[in-house]
Amino acid sequence: MRMMPTCREITERASAHLDGELGRMAGLGFRLHLAVCRHCRRYVAQLAEAVALVRGQPVGEPPAAELEALLVRRFRDHSLASLRASPGPEG
């Protein structure tokens, strides 16, 4: 097996690297390549930043008030029904 991957191979494996999914040998080749290639260092750093932005997005719009009220009503009904059905160890 060739020790040093190409730049193209680095970009293809960059996600697996970030997720800790590269095997030992592949991981070694990956790190060796990064040590000598600033373009790929930049690529991997930018991919990590992109992932961080996706992970850090705000939770977004809540449901419309009517929908939330409907769901909470249903939740309450089912909670009461299921508590009655299974009264627990003491009940």
Partner 1 sequence: MDSGDLCAHLRAGDEQAFRDLVRGHHAAMIRFAHGFVRTRASAEDVVQETWLVVVEGLHRFEARSSLLTWIYGILANKARTRGAREARAAPLPEPSLERADARIPEADRFDASGHWREPPGPWTSLDPERIVAGRQLWRHVLDILDTLPAMHRAVLTLHDVEGLEAAAICDILGLSEGNRRVLLHRARARVRLALEQLVATDGPWPPARPAAPPGTWRAERAASSPCARR
Nearer Cβ to partner 1 (25/83): 83
| Contacts of partner 1 in 49-68 (CB under 8 A) | 49-51, 53-63, 67-68
4 binds partner 1 (CB under 8 A): no
91 binds partner 1 (CB under 8 A): no
Q: How far is CA 74 from CA 22, 64, 69, in A?
A: 46, 16, 9
Interface with partner 1 (CB under 8 A), residue from 25, 28, 32, 83: 83
- Report helix angle 24-36 to 7-18, nearest 10: 120
Residues 91, 84: Cα–Cα separation, whole Å: 10
Q: Among 76, 77, 72, which residue's Cα sits nearest to residue 62? A: 72
**Sites of contact with partner 1 (CB under 8 A):** 6-9, 11-12, 14-16, 21, 39-40, 42-43, 46-47, 49-51, 53-63, 67-68, 71-72, 74-76, 78-80, 82-83
